[in-house]
Amino acid sequence: MAKVAIMGYGTVGSGVYDIIKTNADKLSYSANGEKVELKYILDIRDFEDHPEKELFTKDFNDILNDGEVSVVAEVMGGLHPAYEFTKSLLESGKSVVTSNKELVATYGTELLEIAREKNVNYFFEASVGGGIPVIRPMHQCLTANNIEKIAGILNGTTNYILNQMIKSGKTFETALKDAQDKGFAERNPAADIEGHDACRKIAILASLASGKMIDYNDIDTEGITNITLDDVKYASAMDSAVKLIGYADFGKDGKIYSIVAPMIIKNESPLSGVDGVFNAVMVTGDCVGNVMFYGKGAGKLPTASAVVADVVDAVKHKERSKKIFWEKPDGNVMADKDSKRFAYFIRTTDSAEKVQKIFDKCEFVDNIVDNESAFVTQPMTKTEAENKLSELSDVVTNIRIMD
Amino acid sequence: MAKVAIMGYGTVGSGVYDIIKTNADKLSYSANGEKVELKYILDIRDFEDHPEKELFTKDFNDILNDGEVSVVAEVMGGLHPAYEFTKSLLESGKSVVTSNKELVATYGTELLEIAREKNVNYFFEASVGGGIPVIRPMHQCLTANNIEKIAGILNGTTNYILNQMIKSGKTFETALKDAQDKGFAERNPAADIEGHDACRKIAILASLASGKMIDYNDIDTEGITNITLDDVKYASAMDSAVKLIGYADFGKDGKIYSIVAPMIIKNESPLSGVDGVFNAVMVTGDCVGNVMFYGKGAGKLPTASAVVADVVDAVKHKERSKKIFWEKPDGNVMADKDSKRFAYFIRTTDSAEKVQKIFDKCEFVDNIVDNESAFVTQPMTKTEAENKLSELSDVVTNIRIMD
């Protein structure tokens, strides 16, 4: 019998509760016959009408000091007090599983280190891609591979917005409003549309793939707020789609190039077909080539199902710390921003002649908007691109083409 | 230090050798620091010019009787002597990993049982979907879910052929010849194009998902040999694609409906975009909804990378049998063939009036071929479909529409 606790009874927390209740037999079967029993739910709010209101507590110490509790699901979100709680629990020898990408991306290195010292586990499958199995498959099933590249659609809100623009011809503003009305986007959508959410997730994936902590503050992050309906139409005309991509490239020299930005993706790539609130992560290994993991990147039960899978894995691995972690690197592991070349899709009101003069070899795209030049450049570094763009009298759009 | 052996030095076997050699450090890192060292390669052929020819043996007993060898990769294929070898190895307390779907689908239940008794492991990630992580993610990451449905593109050869028909407008015969010339299809392509290969793979997935052995002989199997270029054109006109699908539906009553057949898939489904020799498996869980695993379903290094990941996992789990298995069910677990309803796409030379009379509510599709009626029926059981089809004076085509 394994006693577990849930911290935070919001959307995900109540999903974790539902799954533990409804799929109890399945869970104990998976946990080698050991029954998974819920002992506490920590939340500052009152749940007087809850069928099991006796499980609720407002005092974190009830969980921390209960020797019976071996696994805790932290689904409260935010940095504080989630960080302090998680740290205390790991130090007291309890395993913690989380869906808190903010916490994993910010304090993951330290928390994973404590878990290892205490020979317990800190699992975070739900922190990236919601219910999609990606952390474990990448760590375990692709273990024979050196990971060369990761490219992921990691934020459902922005993908939904871009999709509404593509499929329904809505402007960015209308699509955002629609997403907010449907509850897919926050009233303050900055974290999503400016790419910060995707940035934390690619930082986690890149850290796991390289075994070295990638600080999300070091990742060049660009959102989708500048993407217009015309850009999306141009992309469609190029048999492509615009997606917000969390991207990481692992050089043979051990350096990692990472960026979050809207990119134009050819329809041949399975990433281009990822619609609505779905997420997908494409991982390139030196042996396996491209593999993709696809599914619901958010939502109550999808996310909770990943959290509960982690709970079961933690129950199965009591006193056996699994090797899912990364460490602080000695020195800088981030590659120079000019170490990677992308082709760019550019729109400008300058003439084709002027464009040709500045960009030399480039492919022009049939105009969708009058009196402008639209073209795709040769692959170039960020500095090269900036220099050439500065020579144009104006730049309507510049979007990277994903390689 | 873990000593391992490879049985069979064909395409996959040599890939396993290459990966163990080139990614040695990565493997030992993943195996919690334990070095993975290759001690034997079993093959009846001579490899005099091989840089490590001293590793080769023709005598299985060299491996069986060597107490140092703890993990063996069986990549020889075929039922015999692979079955006898695997059985002896497991009984002698060695773990075995395999890419041999034929063996797993035929003798898996017995071999998994022996592995459990001996507290060793029999892993088979590479037996389905080549390098794609699917067995473990389904077993481990989706453990909180009751699996409701599996639909997979499990055979790269047939997918390549159908793709050539769709993309290049080749006839089935030309596309098959092309696949043979490129080495994607065997000289005798029956196992692929008649669906037997896909059938064994869906049997393995369904057994794993249900925990009960599904005999592939009980799975209704239909290949793609009757699919014509016109059928493919009709599918495109319906914003869909024809794919050979391994399908399993898990009823709440514990019964399993499974079939292998060409199906028409709407382009909204990410399965419809799976091109060429790629494979993809869509799994539907009661909590997570649809998740898809995508990648190269065959080939030397992709398949070998899955085999080596299993080797590493076996090294990490010495004397700890993992719960990846299924058992012989008491009684029949297969659902009645009429328990599942599909809509059908049908082409006949009969008149729309006659069709209407027989099929009542049905949607007609604009003709691509003159003097025929093409239409999509309401969902119906197999018997209902057979009865109605028998009332037509001829049936050019009937293909299920995937739900």
**Residue pair B151/B246 in contact by the 8 Å Cβ criterion:** yes
**Is A274 within 8 Å of B270 when comparing Cβ atoms?**
yes
- Closest chain B C-alpha to A353 CA, distance in angstroms: 37
The Cα–Cα gap between B403 and B265 comes to 8
Residues belonging to chain B: 403
**Is A140 within 8 Å of B268 when comparing Cβ atoms?**
no
Q: Please report which confidence band the pLDDT of residue A391 belongs to, taking 50, 70 and 90 as the band edges.
A: very high
The Cα–Cα gap between A86 and A94 comes to 9
Does the N-terminal peptide bond of residue A137 adopt cis geometry, omega within 30 degrees of 0? no
Q: What is the CA radius of gyration of chain A?
A: 23
Residue with tokens 């691109």: A385
How many C-beta atoms surround the C-beta of residue A171 within 10 A?
14
Nearest CB to B125: which of A132, A141, A145? A141
**Residue pair B121/B325 in contact by the 8 Å Cβ criterion:** no
Q: Please report which confidence band the pLDDT of residue A204 belongs to, taking 50, 70 and 90 as the band edges.
A: very high
Measured CA angle at A30 (ends A28, A32), to 5 deg: 75
Per-residue pLDDT tens over the stretch B19-34: 999 988 888 888 888 8
Q: Tell me: pLDDT of B46 over 80.
A: yes
Provide, for chain A, the percentages of residues in helix, strand and coil under a 3-state DSSP scheme, each rounded to the nearest 5: 40, 25, 35
The SS3 of residue B276 is coil
**Residue pair B364/B352 in contact by the 8 Å Cβ criterion:** yes
- Closest chain B C-alpha to A343 CA, distance in angstroms: 25
Q: What is the mean pLDDT of the segment spanning B47-69?
A: 97
Residue type, B267: N
The Cα–Cα gap between B7 and B71 comes to 11
Per-residue pLDDT tens over the stretch A135-184: 999 988 888 999 999 999 999 999 999 999 999 999 999 999 999 998 88
Q: What is the mean pLDDT of the segment spanning B329-338?
A: 93
The Cα–Cα gap between B69 and A304 comes to 41
The Cα–Cα gap between B368 and B370 comes to 7
**Is B296 within 8 Å of A313 when comparing Cβ atoms?**
no
Residue of A201, A243, A300, A388 marked active site: A201
Q: Please report which confidence band the pLDDT of residue A219 belongs to, taking 50, 70 and 90 as the band edges.
A: very high
Helix (H) / strand (E) containing B38 = strand B36-42
**Is A301 within 8 Å of B287 when comparing Cβ atoms?**
yes
Query: Is some CB atom of chain B closer than 8 A to the CB atom of A133?
Result: yes
Question: Residue A273 has what DSSP assignment?
Answer: G
Q: Please report which confidence band the pLDDT of residue A63 belongs to, taking 50, 70 and 90 as the band edges.
A: very high
Q: Tell me: pLDDT of A96 over 80.
A: yes
**Residue pair A182/A168 in contact by the 8 Å Cβ criterion:** no
The Cα–Cα gap between A52 and B141 comes to 27
Residues belonging to chain A: 403
Q: Which residues 208-237 of chain A have a CB within 8 Å of chain B?
A: 211
Q: Tell me: pLDDT of A272 over 80.
A: yes
Strands A373-377 and A362-364, how do they pair?
A: antiparallel
Q: What is the mean pLDDT of the segment spanning A295-317?
A: 93
Contact residues on chain A for B211, CB-CB shorter than 8 A: 29
Q: Please report which confidence band the pLDDT of residue B90 belongs to, taking 50, 70 and 90 as the band edges.
A: very high
Beta bridge partners of A398: A346
Helix (H) / strand (E) containing B63 = helix B60-64
- Closest chain A C-alpha to B375 CA, distance in angstroms: 27
**Residue pair B138/B345 in contact by the 8 Å Cβ criterion:** no
**Looking at residue B94, what is its pLDDT?**
97
**What's the mean per-residue pLDDT of chain B?**
95
Beta bridge partners of A400: A263, A344
Q: For residue A324, what is the nearest residue in chain B, using CA coordinates?
A: B30
Q: For residue A145, what is the nearest residue in chain B, using CA coordinates?
A: B305
Q: Name the nearest CA neighbour of B17 among B274, B310, B300.
A: B300
Residue type, A255: K
Nearest CB to A140: which of B131, B285, B309? B309
Query: Is some CB atom of chain A closer than 8 A to the CB atom of B32?
Result: yes
Per-residue pLDDT tens over the stretch A274-287: 988 899 999 999 99
The Cα–Cα gap between B202 and B197 comes to 9
Q: What is the mean pLDDT of the segment spanning A20-37?
A: 87
Q: Is A201 a catalytic residue?
A: yes
Per-residue pLDDT tens over the stretch A112-134: 999 999 999 999 999 999 999 99
**Is B309 within 8 Å of A144 when comparing Cβ atoms?**
yes
- Closest chain A C-alpha to B254 CA, distance in angstroms: 13
Q: Tell me: pLDDT of B321 over 80.
A: no
Q: Please report which confidence band the pLDDT of residue A253 belongs to, taking 50, 70 and 90 as the band edges.
A: very high
Q: Tell me: pLDDT of B91 over 80.
A: yes
DSSP B280-344: EEEEEETTTEEEEEEEE-SSHHHHHHHHHHHHHHHHHTTT---S---BPPSS--BPPTTSS-BEE
Residue type, A175: A
Beta bridge partners of B380: B342
Per-residue pLDDT tens over the stretch B342-373: 999 999 999 999 999 999 999 999 999 999 99
Nearest CB to B306: which of A136, A141, A309? A141
Per-residue pLDDT tens over the stretch B244-259: 999 999 999 999 999 9
Q: Tell me: pLDDT of B318 over 90.
A: no
- Closest chain A C-alpha to B270 CA, distance in angstroms: 7
Query: Is some CB atom of chain A closer than 8 A to the CB atom of B96?
Result: no
pTM above 0.80, yes or no: yes
The Cα–Cα gap between A127 and A3 comes to 23
Contacts of A43 (CB under 8 A, 6+ apart): A7, A8, A9, A13, A56, A58
- Closest chain A C-alpha to B12 CA, distance in angstroms: 12
**Is A144 within 8 Å of B19 when comparing Cβ atoms?**
yes
The Cα–Cα gap between A92 and A90 comes to 5
Q: Please report which confidence band the pLDDT of residue B325 belongs to, taking 50, 70 and 90 as the band edges.
A: confident
Count of H-run helices and E-run strands, chain A: 14, 16
Q: Tell me: pLDDT of A322 over 80.
A: no
**Is B295 within 8 Å of A289 when comparing Cβ atoms?**
yes
Global ipTM: 0.93
H helix intervals, B23-59? 24-30
Count of H-run helices and E-run strands, chain B: 14, 16
Size of interface A-B (CB pairs under 8 A): 177
**Is B296 within 8 Å of A288 when comparing Cβ atoms?**
yes
Whole-angstrom CA distances from B353 to B357, B364, B387, B392 are 6, 11, 18, 12
**Looking at residue A401, what is its pLDDT?**
98
Query: Is some CB atom of chain A closer than 8 A to the CB atom of B151?
Result: no
**Is A294 within 8 Å of B289 when comparing Cβ atoms?**
no
The Cα–Cα gap between A220 and A206 comes to 14
The SS3 of residue B222 is coil
**Looking at residue A185, what is its pLDDT?**
87
The Cα–Cα gap between A372 and A352 comes to 8
Phi and psi torsions of A243, nearest 5°: -135, 150
The Cα–Cα gap between B307 and B127 comes to 9
Residue with tokens 């606790």: A5
**Is B305 within 8 Å of A145 when comparing Cβ atoms?**
yes
**Looking at residue A370, what is its pLDDT?**
96
Q: For residue A271, what is the nearest residue in chain B, using CA coordinates?
A: B270
Beta bridge partners of B37: B3
Q: For residue A139, what is the nearest residue in chain B, using CA coordinates?
A: B30
Per-residue pLDDT tens over the stretch B180-232: 998 888 889 999 999 999 999 999 999 999 999 999 999 999 999 999 999 99
Whole-angstrom CA distances from A130 to A232, A313, A383, B363 are 27, 17, 35, 38
The Cα–Cα gap between A154 and B130 comes to 26
Q: Tell me: pLDDT of B386 over 90.
A: yes
Q: What is the mean pLDDT of the segment spanning B316-332?
A: 84
Q: Tell me: pLDDT of A238 over 80.
A: yes
Phi and psi torsions of A337, nearest 5°: -60, -20
Beta bridge partners of A151: A247, A282
The Cα–Cα gap between A361 and A378 comes to 7
> Which range has the worst mean pLDDT, A11-20, B80-89, B130-139?
B130-139
Contacts of B209 (CB under 8 A, 6+ apart): B138, B147, B150, B248, B250, B283
**Residue pair B277/B294 in contact by the 8 Å Cβ criterion:** no
Question: Residue A308 has what DSSP assignment?
Answer: H
The SS3 of residue B227 is coil
pLDDT above 90 covers what percent of chain A? 89
Q: For residue B282, what is the nearest residue in chain A, using CA coordinates?
A: A294
Per-residue pLDDT tens over the stretch A332-345: 999 999 999 999 99
Query: Is some CB atom of chain A closer than 8 A to the CB atom of B26?
Result: yes
Give the E-state strand segments of A99-253 in sequence order.
Answer: 122-123, 147-153, 220-221, 240-250
Contact residues on chain A for B26, CB-CB shorter than 8 A: 143-146
The Cα–Cα gap between A97 and A309 comes to 9
The Cα–Cα gap between B286 and A300 comes to 12
The Cα–Cα gap between A210 and A379 comes to 26
**Is A305 within 8 Å of B146 when comparing Cβ atoms?**
no
Q: Report the sign of the C-alpha dihedral through residues A56, A61, A67, A73, in that order.
A: positive
**Looking at residue A276, what is its pLDDT?**
84
| CA B177 to the chain's CA centroid | 23
- The first and second tokens of residue B270, run together, are 């990410």
Strands A147-153 and A240-250, how do they pair?
A: antiparallel
Q: Please report which confidence band the pLDDT of residue B323 belongs to, taking 50, 70 and 90 as the band edges.
A: confident
- Closest chain B C-alpha to A389 CA, distance in angstroms: 36
User: Best interface-test mutation with A: which of B16, B139, B150, B287 has the largest number of A CBs within 10 A?
Assistant: B287
